[in-house]
Structure 1
């Protein structure tokens, strides 16, 4: 099935510690192909890195194998994480196991599809603006985007450093939380990680998986109107039914307003593209990656290398990001985007004074048909409206299956306060148990 849906770019194994005893002993893990694996090629879904083999493994890989998990392959993805459908990959699109005429979401579509198809017990993805939660929702599985700083980014090939986090994808909330238990924690190789010992409630003694007990009695759930407006009616109805199930288990719901999120997509794409234009400058054909056979001077060779190595969506984002950072436009676009980001963060902080979690549809639409959004990038960008706010505010969020509409999966997103993973895991497990 995994081959039929093109879930993997490379199928090679990294064996886990055979003597390990723990929640991931003997578990199989599919790993998104932008997470470095020593001795196994890591392509980022791009011709630019089609033959790149890292000399080291990411911290999360070492932690998984030390816990007994076995990596079974590197999964397909939108090129350099730039996409919402896993169709911009240089290695062809991944298909949704639920309906192979539809996309699995992106950019971690291969990881979600591998779990949904039973090709791996759990998977790792990376989430820059929803890239774990979107495919989890479209494929009917669970995806967690951790608080920024909870999980090491060492070995993750960067797209937008200030936004992205590695996160788990699994069939159940408890399984995803068990992976999070293993990969979370301070890492001396990554200065953005946090020592959680001094943050009250940030690292539950029993672990995140133990929080998947479905106990939401007394929990307050904020429902922001802005994240429901404009969503497909079938999605809204399915998500509202899931929220009603939480109420039936003792949770309270209250309508809240997050006015800043109406500007989140615009702010997100300016910031993400600006950071991408800087990060991808390293792919010049000199140090690593694809190199053009051009006989011209360095400038010509550099241009030819990037023309041949990058796909259309990556080129588009590099150009837009460079434009936003250029003289005369930095203040007009990039600085305003950062102001909007601060506004989003403030809105959520104010909301969490009154509620425990914020609930919304993960994706405002049902899974796209293959090819449907490729000719309309703006439509693809706008589909991230509900997921990007959590990345801008550096907050934890989870997508859990809410049900189906017309036979297609619908995800419920739950966003928590910083290092509030325990709370969102508990709430998501209640949805799962209904």
Structure 2
């Protein structure tokens, strides 16, 4: 068991890879009553194709990771959620594009809920009948999300950006892909991706790490896991061009919503990728927040409102910048974004302003070390990306103007997709 101490942040954790391959990280927070534990696998919505060590390619329907998340809570002998509740613990799970995570929090004894977390995540019990029943539940869930304007806007944007990449699918898949999922595929996907060698357990607790580690080791010693071929996400080369440049649709909204996205190439090196993402985010902050003297004017003229925002997301094989707004002044909004994205590529950030922004982001990340869920999720994502957790925190404070220049050179303004959501026209109009 290795102890990692960071004197600068006054934080410590221990970590150990168990004999079965499960990597355990226990973050010690002696001054807190609450405990938080998360078990995660790097199986996400992007894993529609996986490649094993022998080069065999395994294909899965879109949404299989999310489907598995649903089925993990199914147990013929007990109601998993009720069991956690009876122990005074709150349990939940989520599937993202990159990972699937199961977690619980409690202010009471941790031993029983921790045992239960390990047991239910390391056991899949499904039948053909239960899989067929779940399809209807998931499709109903997907249809519910489609009624949400922001979700629909984002999904249409991803459909516009990507030609082949799995990002063009909803995390839950679609009606056809969900219907195509079989019991055998779920079991195969589970076997390959929920093996201890693929998984990470992060605990944030006041309990003595040695005591907690013994609970975990005793639990794991009782179980046998078959040998597996380690799999990696498969990749298909994505064209640099967008799938469609412009798309319009209607929903029950009162004000039109617009999203403009610029397609970026992914960056394989995790540290360079994170550095580039931070650099672009800092540049966007200077151009599209109150740091820009014109920002209040845009608000006053109704070109933007409080809904206005932007994001940058870079993966190892995809990337995009998206700016979105809610306004009746469609043309003015489009022109504003296009004009200032051009200015963005040439901007030099005032040194004092850059330091202020870096300190703001750095401070936010340091404060997140008091949030147990933030610690677990951030550590998990750094671990699966192959990044040192503390290095990923320090990265933003090291960004220079040269880094920003290099990151902005990554942007091709020609590879742009626009999506417009308008209110439904009344039958009388």
- What is the TM-score normalised by the length of structure 2? 0.24
Structure 1 or 2: more strand by fraction: 2
Rg: which structure is higher?
2
Structure 1 or 2: more helix by fraction: 2
- What is the TM-score normalised by the length of structure 1? 0.24
